[in-house]
Amino acid sequence: MKIFQNLKIVELSSVLAGPLVGTFFAELGAEVIKVENQLTDGDVTRKWKIPEENRQHAVSAYYAAANFGKKTLLRDLKNEADYLEVLGWVATADVVLLNFKPGDALKLKLDYETLYKKNPTLIYGEIIGFSEQDPRVAYDVVLQAETGYMSMNGESDAPPLKLPLAIIDILAAHQLKEGILCALLERAKDGKGRKVSVSLYQAGVTALANQASNWLMNGHIPQRIGSLHPNIAPYGETFQCWDGKWIVLAIGSDKQFESLCHVLELSGLIADSRFETNASRVQHRTALTRYLKEAFLKKPSNKWIQSFLKNQVPFGQIKDIKDVFEEDQASQLILEEDIEGVPTKRVKTVAFKITGLSEP
């Protein structure tokens, strides 16, 4: 899809959230000019390498994950000639992306008011950390701590944990994309530019969903319960099979629970008052889990999988990343590109398809 083939974007952002937005538009055909800080040898993530990576390359896998289809240039925004060059690109752009620390955009004369005078139709997309008034450096792990994610994540007898992705950055990128798309839609009506601002903090809070409502409506503070669901059981419980492989359950109804019990040859549990309803299963999930663990160990995973599929029992095979990308559906989402002579791969940011019926 080349939906945005006539769109021009100047990306002045770095790390993950902003660059993911630029990549999204690049995947859909937009021209994206990425300006990186010459004084730091480019985006800081170029140096964020795992031990297996080639130390001589100027491109890391982390950098590649958030950058695709862009024209990348190193510039010093404090240098007058470089600044004027960037300003020239912005003057003809549709969108500019920034994620400077509070006050830096104004110091660099790249604030909304300055750029609006150069280009009144510009969509100014900005990611900030906590707020305009809070100067703290907003790394993802800091935001996961401050927005409640770490307090909920982990096992009950272990310390708080961050999620193994920069989830707050990813959520903020989605928010900014949505805001920019709304601003482009409005501009199509009146021809006027807009400023779209997203804070990492608020992006994290707005994604708390049912966990937020559990507190707001019932005064319930979510505790660390591993992968378990606070409202449903058995949901999130993991079970090791006879062959050492793991399966996770997602039983959302009484009918599904009955099917599970029949497959596991535990039909006696259906009439057990402790497990008759979801509410009672949540209350007695520890006892229920003991029965299920014993049953799963009696057969290899492939046997359980066949039976679960046949009887419509919701489950998942716990796969590592290697397993995931051996699946056709996942491998179809890989984007490949040479960046500065380095072969790179990443997964698409675009997972949707747009189709329509032709007129007869």
Evaluate whether 109 touches 128 at the Cβ level (below 8 Å): no
Nearest CA-CA partner of 330 in 344, 348, 318, 315: 348
CA dist., res. 295 & res. 300, Å (int)? 11
For strands 8-12 and 95-98, give the pairing: parallel
Look up residue 39 and give its two tokens.
Answer: 């004084």
- Which are the contacts of 17, defined by CB distance < 8 A and separation ≥ 6? 99, 127, 169, 170, 172, 173, 176, 200
At which residue do the structure tokens 């080639």 appear? 54
CA dist., res. 252 & res. 324, Å (int)? 25
Question: Exposure of 140 by Cβ count < 10 A (0-12 exposed, 13-18 middle, 19+ buried)?
Answer: buried
- Respond yes or no on whether the N-terminal peptide bond of residue 234 is cis (omega within 30° of 0): yes
Long-range contacts of 51-55 (CB under 8 A, 24+ apart): none
- Length of the chain as a residue count: 360
CA-to-CA separations, 277 to 41, 69, 127, 251, 263, in angstroms, rounded: 60, 52, 45, 12, 18
Residues with a catalytic annotation lie at 169
For strands 8-12 and 31-37, give the pairing: parallel
- Provide the 8-state DSSP code for 95: E
Evaluate whether 129 touches 199 at the Cβ level (below 8 Å): yes
Evaluate whether 259 touches 311 at the Cβ level (below 8 Å): yes
Look up residue 242 and give its two tokens.
Answer: 């006879």
Nearest CA-CA partner of 323 in 235, 245, 259, 209: 245
